[in-house]
Amino acid sequence: MEDASPRKTLPRLDESLLTHLPPFSRLEKRQIRTILDQASSRRLEAGVAVFNEGDPAERFYMLLYGYVRVVRITPTGEQVTALHIPAGQLLGIARAIGRETYPATAMTATESIVLSWPTRLWDTFIAEYDGFATETYKTLGHRVGEMNTRIVELATQQVEQRVANALLRLVNQTGRKVEGGIEIDFPITRRDLSELTATTLHTVSRLLSGWEKQGLVHSTRKRIKVCDPHALVVLSQGRGRSVPVGRDPQFGKKRLLVETVFRAGIRDRVKRADQAADTEHPVAEKNRNGLWPAGHQIAKRQVGVVQSGARMAVSFRQSP
């Protein structure tokens, strides 16, 4: 992981860069000038750490251009993507959640431009600049809400739904209209998507390949385009099924044929079991103790077993 050393300081910035951004939209031009004069501006290449998890939170940041991935590092060294932050949002706001260190690492997903201020100015911004606190905590609330949504998805949804939901979120947050669909507006790999959805790279690759054959998505190296958003919405809600993961498109037809043959065999066995019972005891009378004859009981038990098999076949047909 690279650090933020390859940074380039930018020339004096104009006030118009901040006037349209929510945390500063209520401020006068002179106030924005003061804010900019206290800021450091940097241009960062893709794949650079803006700050690292566990480091002292000495500065907070505004992303003016580009995209940032927020990642956590597990005790075993694995990297997990928590969320993506688009331009126009604050990041590194550890002070807002009462921390003195950064809770995660922020990595640039594309070439990016950031402003930063010393954390000692945080309380001044909150107290003196109208709207800064409101918009900051609104942003924080949205991020917490997104994380809660993902926790619910992990607990209740199949992997296919989770991947579909992740793509829809990214398209909604960063998508741009292109020929044939909507493209996620920053480089994203299948490994990134697997980290977002708590699944394996192999599973994500198989899903995307299947969806690509169906015309739902189109993926190239580090680029994903959603061609049929409605179909993804249906999949994300569990109301549809795509091609079985890792199987040929003909697999569904083959499974249907197997089910048809299996159920036909079941019906034949049920019929023969009934005939056996009726042949041995055509009148099907109970004996003097009020019990069915032994042969009839055995034949009927066979019918019960076969009927259970039929129910299993139906269950198999309805299962994913």
Q: What is the pLDDT of residue 63?
A: 96
Q: What is the pLDDT of residue 295?
A: 45
DSSP state of 278: H
DSSP state of 55: S
Please count the other Cβ atoms lying within 10 Å of the Cβ belonging to residue 90. Answer: 20
Is the whole-model pTM more than 0.95? no
Question: What residue ranges of the chain have pLDDT lower than 50?
Answer: 2, 4-7, 243, 245-267, 269-271, 273-274, 277-320
DSSP state of 48: B
| DSSP one-letter string for 178-201 | ETTEEEESS---HHHHHHHHTS-H
Quote the crossing angle between the two packed helices 251-280 and 294-318, to the nearest 10°: 170
Please count the other Cβ atoms lying within 10 Å of the Cβ belonging to residue 2. Answer: 13
Distance between CA 146 and CA 140 in Å, rounded?
A: 10
Q: What is the pLDDT of residue 317?
A: 36
Q: What is the pLDDT of residue 71?
A: 93
| DSSP one-letter string for 84-97 | EEETT-EE--GGGG
Q: What is the pLDDT of residue 162?
A: 94
Q: What is the pLDDT of residue 76?
A: 85
The two tokens of residue 74 are: 């597990």
Say if CB 136 and CB 23 are below 8 A apart. yes
Q: What is the pLDDT of residue 252?
A: 41
Q: What is the pLDDT of residue 246?
A: 43
Q: What is the pLDDT of residue 154?
A: 87
CB burial readout 171-187, b (16+ within 10 A) else e = beebbeeeeebbbbbbe
Place of tokens 């390859």: 6
